[in-house]
Amino acid sequence: MTTLAQASLSRRLAVLSLASLAASATLAQNSSYEPQRGQAGKDVIWIPTPDETVTRMLQMVEVKPSDRVFDLGSGDGKIAIAAAREFGARATGLEYNPDMVTFSQRRAQEAGVADKVQFRQADIFQSDFSSATVVTMYLLPELNLRLRPLLFKMAPGTRVVSHSFTMGDWTPDETARAGVGDVYMWLVPANASGSWKLVANGLADASLSLSQRYQVLSGDGLFGDLRASLVRPRIAGEQLSFGLRDPKGQLWQFEGKVAGNRITGTATRSGQAGVPFEARRNGDSAPIAGLASTAELSASALAASLAR
């Protein structure tokens, strides 16, 4: 090797060892980082959800190993880590503070779930979490309201759980109130609004006219000039159920699944075996009522908080 080549190699080695020194210094610095309860965050401060509330939240959304959990504003990572360690799910934490991201990555390693959990430095309002089957959060009422239109774009059946804060007038499907704190759970509903042609063996020609406000469904069945209200209509994620009394006065119970412009399932008359049914939407769905613009949401959130 020439003297020149030797000099160049030792310079490169020196640069490499300086880089690795810098990396281990960063690691040492990060490994001594301890978050402070109440420390500032981008849109909300950091306060960790208590352990028993975390467990309750994850129980309410029935996390399974096949789930993909996203914690929005993941802090020290405890919700994502618990989703992996206690429920076997894959989980992602989105957190704006890079020190917290490094801290939670270390926590995930210590908990032995680093292969199932990842943390990303990101602004939740600039992030794509549409692949989530479960979304968890402990933010603020107005941040929940900003997220609401995004949540409604997610796949029907996506489960959403929030510690402490509601989603304005989107009523939760389940709540818990105990010493451990308030927890609210919602299922993202499919959009069943609009006019549908309904076909089932043995049922007279019928159409359905459905309107929906969040997950609250109402509507009528139309048989020629007979308009009969739906009996106890319900939508839970993509699952739809309702009763409908036909022109002969017989009550049918429909249980089906909404997939885009089609509903399929089983229709049952009392004392009879169920038959398959299908409904096809005529034209487009109307937007789900209740989803106002962000400006209106902020104004209504402000009005609600002033009224309290």
Ligand X SMILES: C[S@@+](CC[C@H](N)C(=O)[O-])C[C@H]1O[C@@H](n2cnc3c(N)ncnc32)[C@H](O)[C@@H]1O
For ligand X, the binding residues (CB under 6 A) are: 41-44, 46-49, 71, 73-75, 78-79, 94-97, 100, 123-125, 138, 163
Whichever of 144 and 215 has its CB closer to ligand X, that residue is 144
Q: How far is the CB of 50 from ligand X (least distance, A)?
A: 9
CB nearer to ligand X: give 70 or 196.
70
Side-chain half-sphere of 239: how many Cα atoms within 13 Å? 5
Q: In which residue are the tokens 């804060």 written?
A: 165
Q: Tell the smallest beta-carbon distance from residue 306 to ligand X (Å).
A: 23
Residue type present at position 3? T
User: Nearer to ligand X by C-beta: 99 or 278?
Assistant: 99
* Bridge partners of residue 178, in order along the sequence: 181
Question: Which residue, 135 or 198, has its beta carbon nearer to ligand X?
Answer: 135
**CB of residue 93 vs ligand X: minimum separation in angstroms?**
8
Q: Based on CB atoms, which residue is closest to ligand X, 91 or 267? A: 91
Q: Which two tokens stand for residue 224?
A: 């020629």
The contacts of residue 15 (CB under 8 Å, 6+ apart) are none
Indicate the residue among 145 and 200 with the shorter CB distance to ligand X: 145
CA distance 62 to 163: 15
Q: What residue is closest to ligand X based on CB? A: 73
Please, how many CA atoms are within 13 Å of residue 111, restricted to the half-sphere of its CB?
Answer: 24
Query: Taking the complex as a whole, how short is the minimal distance between the CB of residue 29 and ligand X, in angstroms?
Result: 19
What is the SS3 assignment for 207?
A: strand
Q: How far is the CB of 219 from ligand X (least distance, A)?
A: 38
Contacts of 30 (CB under 8 A, 6+ apart): 99, 102, 103, 106
Strands 90-95 and 68-72, by their bridges, are parallel
As measured in angstroms, the least distance from the Cβ of 181 to ligand X is: 10
Torsions phi, psi for 135 (to 5 deg): -120, 130
The three-state secondary structure class of 257 is strand
